[in-house]
Amino acid sequence: MAQGVRAFRYDDAEPVRHASGAAASISVFADRAALRSQLGDSAGEAGLILRQSESLSRLVDGDALVLGDVVLIDAPVAGAELLAAFARLDMRAARSGCQLIVSTTCDSLDAIFGCFDQSDAQILVAPSGAEWALALGSALARVPHAAVNELSGEDRIALVRLTEQVQMLARKMEGLSQDDLLPGERESDRLRSPGLDYVAPQSSAPAPVAKAGKLPSPVLVREIIRQRQLRARFFEEELFADPAWDILLDLTAAKGEGTDVCVSSLCIAACVPPTTALRWISQMTEAGLLNRVRDPADRRRAFIELSDGAAKSMADYFHRLDNGAAVV
């Protein structure tokens, strides 16, 4: 995983402090000693107090731990015992207001995501140094009683945009293409944008038109998604990055098909790096466009679906397009 944190620096920034004047504190839990050391050192550079830096096992039997204002966790693999500990930590963070940042891999994403449904934890997938830094900055802005301003809705959207720009700039500065791996990153750690075989091939049969108040045909929506993905054959993908719309389209098609969508699948559909997609999913959920739904067959899992308001808006939008004209 791309766990380097060299970009995780705030040398020119004032340390975040509580109203009492005390510096904010941070806890680090990771099994890799080198990563624990890097994160701890970076926290010190940011003017934070390192409350503890321990292995993941400390979370399993450490419910009585006094945690920092921000808790950084690296969990590339999570077994049942650790997942249970995460669920307890999620409830504890929701009550106390401490901010959670959890790093994981693609294989563990759905399980990790299912554990954190109350605390608004930031989940990162194979994060780069820039992603660690931005996640920490966002967490510090939300620390209760800290001498920083709460981010407004517009500021949070701006932060999402900034994250995308920083990631793109970081790759360009390191001379990397979208197909290159970041230092230490494995091919299996990455979620890729879907290929053209991700959706059904173009159909010669006309798609049913959209009716007022009803969602468009999934066939129509999948064709629009296919057309949007086709652009990547002829232009740079970054020119057309629009994860919010890709997420809405995918969930609209899934709703019409009656299928559930897990978070890892939705990250792929968003056509952006997974950590960026997760940030968009979080913001869209907060904005009331998406709902997080527990899997009735497995309470440890969670799906994402359109909210009723978003579904109505999508239905009205497609009806307005001349009864469902396919527009990308």
pTM value is: 0.74
Q: Delimit the domains of the chain by residue range.
A: 25-160, 191-320
Asked whether the beta carbons of 190 and 126 are under 8 A apart, the reply is yes
pLDDT of residue 22: 61
Q: Residue 5's pLDDT band (boundaries 50, 70, 90)?
A: very low
Nearest residue to 267 (alpha-carbon basis) of 250, 289, 285, 288? 250
pLDDT > 70 in the chain, percent: 70
Q: Is the pLDDT of residue 260 over 90?
A: yes
pLDDT tens for 162-176 read 555 545 544 544 443
Q: What CATH number does the domain located at 25-160 have?
A: 3.40.50.2300
pLDDT of residue 145: 55
Q: What CATH number does the domain located at 191-320 have?
A: 1.10.10.10
Tell me the average pLDDT of the chain: 77
pLDDT tens for 87-102 read 999 999 999 889 999 9
